[in-house]
Chain A
Amino acid sequence: MCVGIPAMIVSINNDKAFSAIVDVEGVRREANIALLADPADPLREGDWVLLHVGFAMSKLDEAEAKSTLEFIRALGSVYDEEVDALRGQDSA
């Protein structure tokens, strides 16, 4: 629960407030982007964010995001739990 996982913005849902589709290791799900709402610097497709319980919490640059993913993957069980949780909701 406490582990943030890097996710890439696949698309911004224009018909729903603060909603985007993100990709985490091939798993796609809806994420809430309300906490990164900044009219001066809106999120765009291809941006990387730190995803925490389905919410984008902070922006990451791509290199940072990829190395963090690699690091979380090396954590083993924590990573598996997080991706399983994502996937579980994905198919719900």
Chain B
Amino acid sequence: MSQFNDFRDPRAASKVLKRITELADGQPHRKFMEICGGHTHSIYRHGLEELLPQNVELVHGPGCPVCVIPMGRIDDAIHIANQPNVTFCCFGDMLRVPGGKSNLLEARARGADIRVVYSPMDVLTIAEREPERDVVFLAVGFETTTPSTAVTVLEAKRRKLSNYFVMSNHIRIIPAIKAILDSKDLDLDGFIGPGHVGTVIGNHPYAFVASDYEKPLVTAGFEPLDILESVMRLLAQKADGRCEVENQYTRAVRDAGNPVAIDVIDKVFTVRPHFEWRGLGSIEHSALMFRDEFAEFDAERRYAVPGVQIADPKACQCGEVLRGAIRPWECKVFGTACTPETPIGTCMVSSEGACAAYYNYGRFNKSPRIPVTAV
């Protein structure tokens, strides 16, 4: 349960900040990673980093599903969109994600029937309304959006629709966190856990972060005070020598998650052996593909996508940004060759990407933080 009843009360915020300062005082430099695009956005929008003591740093992990889509997958998507009779549907923030040669926006300009949708249910409606078209949904997202895709597939089966297909890019949060924890240059003291993923999977799947890797994790809501309170809790664990998984966002996250949502995911999807993440490389079991029982809805099987792996552009340092090794403005092309209008890297595309958030709010202190170490 949150220790503060009104999570937007400015007095509560100043109390939390005071406690954060006390807890950080005399401690080594602490680096905490948030793995949620919503958190990243909120942190920049409210300038939270500037409120924290010099020795407390927030690192922005691979929490934006748009930002981790590798270029090869976009080329596969364009390949499908260019097939005869295909109507290709995606969320608006996918249009500018760069592929190897072009993006979906350019493919549309060249004549592909690419439509922006708000919900996968809308794709189902299009498929029903236009039975002569093959309607394909570019599904992206962590466990937050996976159940909704799964529901549409079950619904398509129930309605006996034979012209609805899904290209699944659904990714899983746990293998991503594990990959970060296993990386050689790991330099993190704990995690701010994603709140909306938590509404689906719950809090217990994170237990290994504390038990196997000895890092604390606090699942957090999106308000500035939620994030600050989570930082406070992480610092308190460090100060006490504790290492636990906590839930700050009890307003929406139950420990067991949403069993209905977990069940529909499991009905439709199974784990992929490997999936390529932009900047992070191939991560075992980190994404979902269709179970054989639902193969008829699988766009990848229907259109035999090229599946070519394309290395990230040399100038792009999204991978280092996503691992927390560098800060967005330390990238060689940040704000010069790479901007939200003409992104080179995916972190600049979505408003939830770390680079776009920095670029749009532009209220950051560009000097690298000087770690204050305890003596």
**B39 CB to closest chain A CB, in angstroms?**
10
Contact A53 B199 (CB under 8 A): no
Kindly state whether residue B120 has any CB partner on chain A within 8 Å.
yes
Contact B41 A75 (CB under 8 A): yes
> What A residues does B37 contact at CB under 8 A?
2
Counting residue pairs across A and B whose Cβ atoms lie within 8 Å, the total is 114
**B17 CB to closest chain A CB, in angstroms?**
18
Kindly state whether residue A12 has any CB partner on chain B within 8 Å.
no
Chain A contact-residue range equals 35 or more
**A51 CB to closest chain B CB, in angstroms?**
9
Kindly state whether residue A58 has any CB partner on chain B within 8 Å.
yes
Q: What string of 1s and 0s marks CB contacts (under 8 Å) between A11-36 and chain B?
A: 00000001000000000001010111
Given contacts A35-B147, A35-B261, A58-B252, contact A81 B351 (CB under 8 A): yes
Count of residues in B whose CB is under 8 Å from the partner chain: 43
Q: What string of 1s and 0s marks CB contacts (under 8 Å) between B134-159 and chain A?
A: 00000011001101100100000000
Complex interface residues of chain B between 239 and 264 (CB less than 8 A to chain A):
251-252, 258, 260-261, 264
Complexed CA–CA distance, A80 and B326 (Å): 30
Given contacts A2-B141, A75-B41, contact A55 B351 (CB under 8 A): no
> What A residues does B223 contact at CB under 8 A?
67-68, 71
**B11 CB to closest chain A CB, in angstroms?**
16
Contact B151 A55 (CB under 8 A): yes
Kindly state whether residue B200 has any CB partner on chain A within 8 Å.
yes
Given contacts A57-B144, A71-B8, contact A4 B118 (CB under 8 A): no
Complexed CA–CA distance, A37 and B116 (Å): 28
